[in-house]
Amino acid sequence: MVNTAANANVQALRRSPAAHLWTDFEVAVVVGEYGVALREIPFQRMVGIRVDPLSEAGQRIGARTGGLPASCGQVTAGPGGVNTLWLGPDEFLTIAPDDGGADGGGLAASLVEALGDGAGQAIELSSNRTTFELAGPSARAVLEKSCAADLHPRSFATGTAITTEIGKIPTILWKTGDDAFLIFPRASFADYLGRWLLDGMREFAAGNTSWH
């Protein structure tokens, strides 16, 4: 996409679903042994894919994304920070960093082109969800207060992504590190879930003189 002056103006007007909570996120950071921090990663590119991964169209999609996951929980990595999460046997979510496009059309258009005339769909979903990162030694404990899934490392390994509920909000949860999680709520639930997670972090700030 050509980054015209008009497009630059659109970019300046963008506002993420949880932008109004960013100051609260900064204030709530807890450091040290029981540390935990929450932030929003805005404007990531997301494309929903429906395709048979064994079909020719699925193989073409995989060539663009670094491969399609083959089983529940699997995440595949491709070039340019592209990652694809397994949502079902023929359903996937491809995620990439913000590329500055006003409509996110670059990634979606590339995957639509890869589908060709094959059966399937590639739908631009960048405005459908936002991304929260919850990280630190107490991140799992915060999530365990209200997450429906078993988050113990024996059940939820690093690199795994699942669909679950947090605070009764349907979401996608991806464990990106031993103490780091990416959470993908729908945009309409960003305020609620952001405040819910902030509330879950408060106990770890009690008595911690390093709390900002």
Report the SS3 class of residue 148. Answer: coil
The reported pLDDT for the residue numbered 208 is 63
Kindly give the parts of the chain with pLDDT less than 70.
1-12, 100-105, 207-212
CB contact set of 48 (below 8 Å; sequence gap of 6+)? 91, 92, 93, 121, 122, 123, 125
Cα–Cα distance, 59 to 168 (Å, whole number): 36
Q: What are 37-86's pLDDT values in tens digits?
A: 999 999 999 999 999 999 999 999 999 999 999 999 999 999 999 999 99
Scanning the chain, the segments in alpha helix (DSSP H) are 5-13, 22-27, 56-65, 105-115, 139-144, 190-205
Cβ(67)–Cβ(76) under 8 Å?
Answer: yes
The reported pLDDT for the residue numbered 3 is 56
Cα–Cα distance, 50 to 55 (Å, whole number): 12
Cα–Cα distance, 95 to 93 (Å, whole number): 6
The reported pLDDT for the residue numbered 101 is 55
Domains, the chain, ranges and CATH?
Answer: 16-42+130-204 (3.30.1360.120), 44-127 (3.30.70.1520)
Strand partners, 147: 166
Q: Are strands 75-77 and 83-88 parallel, antiparallel or unpaired?
A: antiparallel
DSSP string covering 112-124:
HHHHTTSS-EEEE
Cα–Cα distance, 120 to 195 (Å, whole number): 37
